[in-house]
Chain A
Amino acid sequence: MSKDYEYMLKAYAESGGAPEVFKDSRVAHLVVHKNKVYGSHTVKGLVLEPRETETGVDISLLVEKGQKIEYPVHLCFGVLPDQGVQEIRIRAKIEDGAGVSLLAHCIFPNAVNVVHRMEAEIEIGNNAFYEYNEVHYHGTTGGVEVVPKAKVKVGDKSYFRTNFSLIKGRVGVFDLDYEADVGESSVLEMTARIFGYGDDRIKIREVGRLSGKGSRGLLKSRVAVKDNAQSEIFNELVASAPEARGHVDCVEIVQGNARAKATPIVSVLNEFARVTHEAAIGRVDKKQVETLMARGLEEEKAIDLVISGMLK
């Protein structure tokens, strides 16, 4: 095992991953450092093909018809030096009746000037599911720019879910842009949990088009910012089919000089559709904090507990 790979695994463990899985033959995985593939393994029903490029890796992922991948596919993307660019392109196709869950760790622990771009195109067939859990660790200096983009097409009677989490260490500059089209009786769920401080900049844009009859969508954001951090969230749900239902749920907690903005856009283009939204932006809820203080917690600890619960 090369020294770099060892460092990668160490950083992976520090960001909450369990490196033992890379030895488990039942679990598919892919480990990418900058533009080098350090490790790759696949399982029956899953085609996982990484191709190194000049600035990153192009990945083709296919889950074959009717195949439900038993264990989550573990992905690890990282840049260990303090400088570097990494561009990841993913083409994913989940065929009819197939399903897969992925757990990705993106780690830039020493970043001073690191750029990570991710561009995903995901096509989900009918009666299929795709779940993408993404955990980021960017170190404590804030020298990272992370730009994830995804375009997703969800067929009928299918499920698409993302969970994004960046709650330890600095954010740096973060600019997420996800769009999904949702077919008949299918479900879209996108959740992001981010904690920003220092002069972090957080921008989230999520768009869900509920274009299939009886489709469902939930866009959920939980962001806490303090110091001089800023956060901006655009959540948009468009329901254009009968019985489509959607909900946008955004909570941003602001402390110190931090700034937060939320723009929920909900549009309904069919008289039998319905979309709701709720957004709460501002200081941490007074009653929650005082409840914990009445059990003996000092104010700061009470605030921390409320925020860490929200980001869990």
Chain B
Amino acid sequence: MKAMEGELLKIENLSLSLGGRQVLRELNLKVEPGAIHAILGTNAAGKTSLAYTIMGISGYTPKEGRIFFNGEEITHYPIFKRAQLGMTMAWQEPARFEGLTVEDYIKVGMKEKDPGLIKEALNFVLLEPREYLKRVVDKTLSGGERKRIELASVFAMKPLLAILDEPDSGIDVLALDHVVNLIKEMKRRGTTILLITHREEVAEIADKASLLCQGFIVKEGEAKEVGEYFKKKCLPCPVYNPEEKIEEVVEEK
């Protein structure tokens, strides 16, 4: 089945339960090609669960709803097939690998293994290629280094859609500017970005934004407007995630 013209990613009526808890609820989302689309939400809103469901991670099979990518329904595709169609994800907490060098890790997703592009990707995230290409992607990397390598590997893959799960967390102020530049450059080169964050100042670089609360999308629109709303309403939200509040929030939408 084909999705409507115009969206690269379309999610219809998606619900997901994990361990008996409903984590995503009747969620609808459209991401325009070429856009940076931010997903804003506080801790435990369901952002990572949404990313995993889109990517097809095991255990994150929706009980209801459909996902379309580039006009093709992918709801039940295995991860690698989604990736081969042109989507990928930078993990909030990326895995570590024994014996796999930074260079080899970045190469995994690249169709043409252009060494120039690998270096460019590392430079973008402020990691000196000479120093890092032969490092191993194992426990010896700091958390921030590992996250930046994750972003570099997504950059080098040149995907149609990059799901970036909190690319800003664990990144220091100096490197943050570079991460932001990298995201903008990815967009310039034609990658559509689903940018997950709970920092509204990062969401500012987005074109569009959706606000996720308790598994619902409670607000959608221009990134600036949604960001303002998030800052005013969500950050000070006094009662964290009370079940009875959800109805209210959804009403407001």
Contact = CB atoms under 8 A, between A and B. Distances in A.
Interface of A: 222, 251, 285-288, 290-299, 302, 305-306, 308-312
B99 A287 contact: no
Contacts, number: 60
Contacts of A290: 57-58, 79
6 contacts: A222-B98, A287-B95, A288-B97, A295-B83, A302-B80, A308-B99
Contacts of B80: 293-294, 296-299, 302
A222 to B, nearest CB: 8
Contacts of B157: 295-296
B132 interface: no
B180 to A, nearest CB: 23
B89 interface: yes
Interface of B: 55, 57-58, 78-80, 82-84, 88-89, 91, 94-100, 108-109, 153, 157
Contacts of B98: 222, 251, 309-310, 312
B83 A296 contact: yes
A194 to B, nearest CB: 14
A311 B99 CA distance: 7
A251 B153 CA distance: 27
A294 B89 contact: yes
A308 B100 CA distance: 9
Nearest to B59: A286
Contacts of A310: 98-99
B99 A293 contact: no
A293 B97 contact: no
Contacts of A251: 98
Given A296-B80, A308-B99, 14 more contacts: A222-B98, A288-B97, A290-B57, A293-B79, A293-B83, A294-B83, A294-B88, A295-B108, A296-B108, A296-B109, A302-B80, A305-B100, A312-B98, A312-B99
